[in-house]
Amino acid sequence: MSRKLVGILVMAYGTPDHIAELPAYYTHIRQGRPPSAAQLEELSARYQAIGGSSPLGRVTRAQADGLAAELQARFPDTGFRSVVGFKHARPFIEDAVETLVAQGIRTVIAVVMAPHDSGSGIRPYFDRAAQAAGALGLTLRPAVSGWYRQPGFIQFWATRIRTLLSSLPLAESRRTLVVFSAHSLPMRVLDGDPYPTQVRESADLIAAAAGVGNHAIAWQSAGRTPEPWLGPDIRDVVRDAWDSGAYRNFIVCPIGFVSDHLEVLYDDDIECRSLIETLGGRYLRPPMPNADRGFISCLADAVAGSLGQTERIAA
């Protein structure tokens, strides 16, 4: 008897593979409105500053491979195939669904490489996946979302915070603020949205697991648009903490992301670091989850929970 096949649709934001694809990528992010030449130049300069391209595509593929291998080891009687689908770059989510269908897969579990749920940021991933699956006669469920409560995710960050704190002399560790950050969103899309609450809750859970007394929650990478975005911005949090005189070291934990990419490597490692060092302080940032084995194992825990439901649905 042939093994049952389960597809894992691993979805992430996406990045241009090459700088020549930047205009199309930026236009896609802006829902079809091409950016101005100045906007394009500014974004291109950010990619140049991190070395010319973002590791996001490579890291997402490594996460997908790791996840399939981990699930295969846990459930040897089932065959797992993971496929990557991006929101704003090729292969798009729709391309990935087609790939899974072409492989004869009928059961698909979708997971987004972002820990917190949000109506405008995360739901569109699932809506697009479900629509593509529906058009091809494939039922796609259940979706894994809002997996920030996974104990492995909390432990991942807690362990790394403790490691950084213990690398500092005691007097310095007392003058250290742990800043948890996630992507900001326009206020207009946040009415009744679970996102800010989930981010705050996960920051509190990680801080408690790390035994950290002083922590702050900040929002980063707000779009360059005049409308109000969710704050406080991470740079304001840092300035206020510095001005209070209580803090000289900052451990920045971008818990809203799970990969090295532009928003971490530029907005945090270049922009935020520069602010902190200009003030005279020390910037520290734990390594991102990327394809860390413990992190992949925690993603597998989240998927395994859904797998149980899928097996029941399929039965």
Residue 225 phi, psi (nearest 5): -125, 155
Q: Report the nearest approach of ligand FEC to the CB of residue 104 (Å).
A: 29
Provide the β-strand partners of residue 83: 9
Cβ proximity to ligand FEC, 15 vs 198, nearer residue: 15
Please give the Cα distance from 10 to 104 (Å, whole number).
18
Distances (CA, A) of 208 to 59, 171, 212, 272: 29, 21, 6, 25
Q: Report the nearest approach of ligand FEC to the CB of residue 127 (Å).
A: 13
Q: Report the nearest approach of ligand FEC to the CB of residue 114 (Å).
A: 4
DSSP helix/strand/coil, 189 = helix
Cβ proximity to ligand FEC, 185 vs 307, nearer residue: 185
Cβ proximity to ligand FEC, 36 vs 244, nearer residue: 36
Cβ proximity to ligand FEC, 67 vs 105, nearer residue: 67
Is 37 buried (19+), middle (13-18) or exposed (0-12) by CB count in 10 A? Answer: exposed
Q: Report the nearest approach of ligand FEC to the CB of residue 156 (Å).
A: 17
Please give the Cα distance from 240 to 246 (Å, whole number).
10
Cβ proximity to ligand FEC, 234 vs 241, nearer residue: 234
Q: Report the nearest approach of ligand FEC to the CB of residue 170 (Å).
A: 36
Among residues 301, 300, 240, 312, the alpha carbon closest in space to that of 68 is found at 300
One-letter identity of residue 159: T
Q: Report the nearest approach of ligand FEC to the CB of residue 30 (Å).
A: 5
Cβ proximity to ligand FEC, 146 vs 256, nearer residue: 256
DSSP 8-state symbol, 287: P
Please give the Cα distance from 113 to 98 (Å, whole number).
20
And the tokens for 109? 């579990």
Which residues are at the interface with ligand FEC (CB under 6 A)? 13, 15, 26, 29-30, 43, 54, 56, 114, 121, 183, 185, 223-224, 256-257, 261-263
